[in-house]
Structure 1
Amino acid sequence: MQQAPSRTLWIDYLRSFLTVLVVAHHSSLAYTTFASFDKVAYIRSTHPVVDAQRWIGLDIFENFNDVFFMSLMFLIAGLFVIKSIQRKGPGAFIRDRFYRLFIPFLIGGTILNLIAHYPSYVLAHESTGLRAYVEDFFIVEQWPVGPPWFIWVLFVFNIAFAFLYVLFRPKFAAPVNFDSSKYKPGRIVLWWFLFTFALYVPFAFWLGPYKWTGFGPFDFQISRAALYFGYFLLGTWLGKVNFNETMFGSSAPLVRRWPLWLVACGLVYTSLTIASPYLTTLVKTGALTEFQGYFVYFTIYVLSCTFSCIAFMTAFRALAKRHQWAWDSLSDHAYLIYLLHYPFVLWMQYWLLEVPLPAFAKFLITFLTAFVGSYLSGYLLRKIPIVRKYI
Structure 2
Amino acid sequence: MLDQPTNTPTGPGAAESPLIASLRAAVAAAPQDIPLRLHLAELLLGAGSADAAVAEAALVLSQAPGDAQARALMARAMGAPVPTEQAPPAAPAEQQAGGFDWEAAAREVGDAVPPRFAAEPDVKEAPLTVDGSGAPGEAPAYDVDAPDAPGAVRLADVGGMQEVKDRLEAAFLAPMRNPELRKLYGKSLRGGLLLYGPPGCGKTFIARAVAGELGANFINVSINDVLDMWIGNSERNMHEVFETARRQAPCVIFLDELDALGAKRSRTQHNGMRNTVNQLLTELDGVNDVNDGVFVLAATNVPWDVDIALRRPGRLDRTLLVLPPDGPAREAILRYHLRERPIESVDLAKLVKATDGFSGADLAHVCESAAESALLDSARTGTVRMINTKDLLGAAKAIRPSTEPWFAAARNVAMFANEGGMYDELLAYLKKARKL
TM-score by length of 2: 0.22
Q: Which has the larger helix fraction?
A: 1
Is the radius of gyration larger for structure 1 or structure 2? 2
Higher relative contact order (CA 8 A, sep 6+): 1
TM-score, length of structure 1 as denominator length: 0.24
